[in-house]
Structure 1
Amino acid sequence: MVEFTDHIGKPIHLLYYPPYHSKYNPIERCWGILEQHWNGAKLTDALTMLLWARSMTWKAMQPVVKLNLKTYEKGISLTKKAMRAVERRLERNPLLPKWDILIRPA
């Protein structure tokens, strides 16, 4: 996210939802709408799932849906030195340091 902020030249404000607070999380509400749209259809394969997801509309717009077959590596982490450099770029809200972070472009 730090690199992306530098690339676009605009700040990014990250607001995380605490665990087990899905009713406040917009993406969780989106999943609920998607489940209603599917209406119990059997998603037996990736193509069926993609076609159902593409058929959704919201405010007369349809989503861009792509199947990602990339396998992401597990266990990748930054060195402590690299993480300190990232942490210096993060502005954490003192009242909610784990949940409210601002990243400004360099």
Structure 2
Amino acid sequence: MFKRLCSTALIFGAAALAPPLAAQAQGVACLPRDALVERLESRYKESLAGGGLQSPQQMIEVWASPEAGSFTVFITRPNGVGCVVATGRHWTGATIANAEGVAG
């Protein structure tokens, strides 16, 4: 009985510590932000296209390459680790209209 209880506790404990299933399925890559940025700049020729605070604990960044058309979205945590949440192709940048030129 004690062996079953310990085995069950180990199995459920290991499952609780595993990354979320969505992260496993999408192959979320987490690296120190500096290493991630270096890879995006050197390998994919991407540069910062925009971003902002998603919450006090997370900053979201979008990096893109207008020439190659690729883009990467990642979240950086306060500990300096960045996790890629999306990548894609056919990037098109958008321009924000100048608020001073809008009649209202």
Q: State which structure, 1 or 2, has the greater radius of gyration over its C-alpha atoms.
A: 2
Q: TM-score, normalised by structure 1?
A: 0.19
**Greater relative CO (CA pairs within 8 A, separation 6+):** 1
Normalized per residue, the structure richer in strand is: 2
